[in-house]
């Protein structure tokens, strides 16, 4: 079957697939933990009886029981030298009982390995793994390929690209997603990272800027020079990663907040603003018995709202837009900010566009790649724009700090 034939078929008919093969095989006596493909080879009657029931129920596409017939999975069971034989035989079982008008799908799935950077599976390794299995399924005479229960977007794209490289068969992808809505969870994560990160930034920046604003502080110039050096030179990605790992911060939000707790440029802005405040206010407060902490909290900070609002907005936007640090330091998908999730969606759309109809987006069909990109831009931009009106008054004053009227 060609992709064009499959497209015409889907336009004229509602196609019913089979499903829950693994669960039904366990009901039929397959033990947990065994190699499914090996067990099915020894129980041909069981799989064929199950597939006949699917056909009688009205299924138009029957999955060959090659779900885990890839090199990575079969190697774990010591069957790496039987990959071709296993895929050919299992596809043959399904073809034997499939009548005319019912199509046989070569079934593939995730390799079971975590994709980089969370794991050691790369796109190239996944591509080679799928390319090998799909080649054997093509030779076995299947009508189409189904990439079933995929989880990772990059791995899904590797399966689609591998299929394109070895055959012209249509491919269906079914992707497992979380029921609670990954975008909304990502938005919640991004808001938390932005708010908590900005609080950490402002706490460190203001408490460091205040003493540095005092000209009589011993060692002030040395500290300032050290801070300025950080504006010119960076430790680099690998040293930063090793420090974060050494501190035990990997896969935690602290890894996104503490390494950049103080931005040298923002620190200098706040320090300069503190220096311009009238010293008489501090002297009057000390005469009234106010401590340094009290002066800082009750006088300096309230008078510095314009500068703090400007710097706070800079920090907030930086946290909101950052996705590279999350990509490096976070492994748990439930902690991903919305930028990572939107990146995965855009990559999926790019993969679908390259194939025309490789990924099933539902009855609406594959959305244009540019539409997905624009939608992702809106989702990523609007939340942070909503923050601006609340700090606009202070921001306008803050950006004029140090300006000279002509």
Percent of the chain exceeding pLDDT 70 equals 86
Those residues with Cβ within 8 angstroms of residue 145's Cβ, 6 or more apart along the chain or in another chain: 105, 106, 108, 134, 137, 163, 167, 169, 170, 171, 172
Residue 84 has pLDDT above 90, yes or no: yes
pLDDT confidence bin for 392, thresholds 50/70/90:
low
pLDDT of residue 22 exceeding 70, the answer is yes
Answer yes or no: is pLDDT of 153 > 50.
Answer: yes
What's the pLDDT tens digit per position in 247-297? 988 888 999 999 889 999 999 989 988 988 888 888 898 888 888 889 999
Q: Among candidates 270, 148, 278, which has minimal Cα distance to 206?
A: 270
CB atoms within 10 A of CB 250: 15
Q: Is the pLDDT of residue 335 over 90?
A: no
The tens digit of pLDDT for each residue in 109-145 reads: 888 777 776 668 888 999 999 999 999 999 999 999 9
Name the one residue in this structure whose structure tokens are 């029981």. Answer: 65
Average pLDDT (8-18) is 83
For residue 151, name the pLDDT band (cuts at 50, 70, 90).
confident
pLDDT at position 145 = 93
CA distance linking residue 301 with residue 265, whole number of Å: 19
pLDDT of residue 129: 94
User: Contact 86/133 with Cβ under 8 angstroms?
Assistant: no
The CATH class that applies to domain 3-175 reads alpha beta
Buried b (16+ CB within 10 A) or exposed e, 202-241: bebbbebbbebbeeeeeeeeeebeebeeeeeeeeeeeebb
Query: CA dihedral defined by 149, 101, 361, 357, rounded to 10 degrees?
Result: 110
Q: What are 68's two structure tokens?
A: 């885990």
Q: What is the CA radius of gyration of the chain?
A: 30
CATH C-level class of 182-332+385-398: mainly alpha
Give φ, ψ of 120 to 5 degrees.
-105, 5
- Give the residue range(s) of CATH 3.20.20.330 domains in the chain: 3-175
Residue range(s) occupied by CATH 1.10.3720.10 in the chain: 182-332+385-398
**pLDDT value at 179 more than 50:** no
Task: For residues 381 and 390, give the distance between their C-alpha atoms in angstroms, rounded to a whole number.
Answer: 16
How would you list the strands of the sheet with 61-63, edge to edge? Answer: 61-63, 103-109, 144-150, 171-175
Q: Smallest Cα–Cα separation from 36: which of 25, 46, 50?
A: 25
Provide the token pair at 27: 């009901």
- Average pLDDT in the chain: 83
Q: What would the two tokens of residue 128 be?
A: 């080679």
On whether the CB atoms of residues 339 and 323 are closer than 8 A, the answer is: yes
Q: What pLDDT was estimated at residue 66? A: 92
Global pTM reads 0.53
Q: Which pLDDT does position 356 carry in this prediction?
A: 37
Torsion of CA 238, 241, 247, 249, to 10 degrees: 180
Tokens of 283: 């002297």
């Amino acid at each position: 079957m060609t992709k064009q034939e499959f497209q015409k078929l889907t336009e004229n008919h509602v196609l019913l697939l089979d499903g829950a093969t693994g669960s039904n095989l366990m009901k039929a006596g397959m033990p947990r933990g065994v190699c499914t493909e090996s067990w099915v080879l020894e129980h041909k009657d069981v799989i064929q009886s199950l597939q006949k029931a699917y056909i009688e129920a009205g299924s138009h596409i029957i999955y060959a029981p090659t779900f885990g017939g890839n090199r990575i999975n079969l190697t774990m069971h010591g069957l790496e030298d039987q990959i071709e034989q296993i895929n050919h035989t299992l596809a043959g079982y399904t073809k034997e009982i499939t009548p005319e008008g019912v199509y046989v799908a070569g079934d593939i799935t995730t390799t079971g390995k975590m994709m980089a950077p969370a794991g050691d599976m790369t796109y190239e390794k996944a591509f080679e793994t799928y390319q090998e299995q799909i080649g054997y399924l093509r030779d076995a005479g299947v009508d189409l390929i189904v990439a079933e229960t995929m989880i990772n977007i990059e791995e899904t794209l590797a399966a689609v690209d591998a299929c394109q490289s070895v055959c012209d068969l249509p491919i269906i992808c079914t992707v497992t997603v979380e029921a609670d809505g990954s975008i909304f969870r990502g938005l919640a994560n991004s808001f938390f990272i932005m708010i908590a990160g900005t609080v950490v930034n402002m706490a460190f920046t203001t408490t460091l800027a205040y003493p540095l604003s005092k000209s009589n502080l011993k060692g002030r110039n040395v500290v300032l020079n050290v801070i300025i050096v950080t504006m010119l030179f960076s430790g680099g990605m690998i040293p930063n990663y090793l420090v974060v790992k050494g501190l035990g911060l990997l896969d935690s939000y602290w890894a996104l907040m503490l390494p950049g707790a103080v931005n040298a440029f923002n620190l200098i802005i706040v320090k300069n603003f503190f220096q311009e405040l009238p010293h008489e206010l501090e002297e009057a407060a000390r005469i009234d018995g106010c401590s340094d902490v009290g002066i800082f909290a009750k006088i300096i900070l309230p008078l510095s709202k314009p500068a703090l609002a400007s710097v706070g907005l800079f920090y907030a936007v930086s946290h909101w837009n950052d996705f590279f640090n999350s990509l490096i330091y976070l492994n748990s998908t439930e902690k991903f900010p919305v930028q990572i999730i939107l990146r995965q969606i855009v990559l999926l759309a790019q993969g679908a566009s390259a194939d025309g109809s490789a990924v099933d987006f539902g009855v609406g069909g594959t959305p244009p790649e540019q539409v997905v990109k624009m939608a992702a831009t809106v989702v990523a931009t609007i939340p942070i724009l909503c923050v601006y009106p609340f700090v606009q008054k202070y921001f306008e004053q803050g950006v004029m700090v140090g300006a000279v009227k002509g």
